[in-house]
Amino acid sequence: MSKIKKERPSAQPSGISEIDIKFVKLIKMSGWIFLLALGIFLGIWGLFDQLLKLMDIPSDSPMVFVYVIFTGGSSFFSFALGTKLDKQLEDKRKIFFDWMITEFLFCMFCIFSLAVYQW
């Protein structure tokens, strides 16, 4: 055995902190929550309205249309953001602000489409 102790190479920082990993997981979790909300609504509508005929949820209602479009679209945008952040974490600030603007514009589209439809 050598009397000189060999030093192990120090781990190079990968640039991905624990906060970044939690941030990406939180964004993906929000996508799953939106998808779960959409699935629960469609499950209730399919079971109680279509199969059992216990409730009457009007499928041509503008509220139903906006709810389905909003939850499905928000789920899509959240999953897209999480996937893009996995690939390009160094540009997370710009990507996150783009996502916030997209969500805002999407919410405004849903609100105005509901207002126009009811008008």
Interval 4-57: pLDDT, tens: 766 666 555 566 788 888 988 999 999 999 999 999 998 988 888 888 888 777
Cβ contacts of residue 68 below 8 Å, gap of 6+? 38, 41, 42
Instruction: Assess if residue 40 is contained within a domain.
Output: yes
Instruction: Assess if residue 12 is contained within a domain.
Output: no
Choose among 70, 69, 61: nearest CA to 117: 61
Question: How many independent structural domains does the chain possess?
Answer: 1
**CA–CA distance, 11 with 17 (Å, rounded to integer):** 14
pLDDT at 7: 67
Instruction: Assess if residue 7 is contained within a domain.
Output: no
Instruction: Assess if residue 9 is contained within a domain.
Output: no
pTM value is 0.75
Find the domain containing 74 and state its range. 19-118
Instruction: Assess if residue 91 is contained within a domain.
Output: yes
Instruction: Assess if residue 4 is contained within a domain.
Output: no
Instruction: Assess if residue 2 is contained within a domain.
Output: no
Instruction: Assess if residue 3 is contained within a domain.
Output: no
Which of the two residues, 11 and 96, has the higher pLDDT score? 96
Residue 86 has pLDDT above 80, yes or no: yes
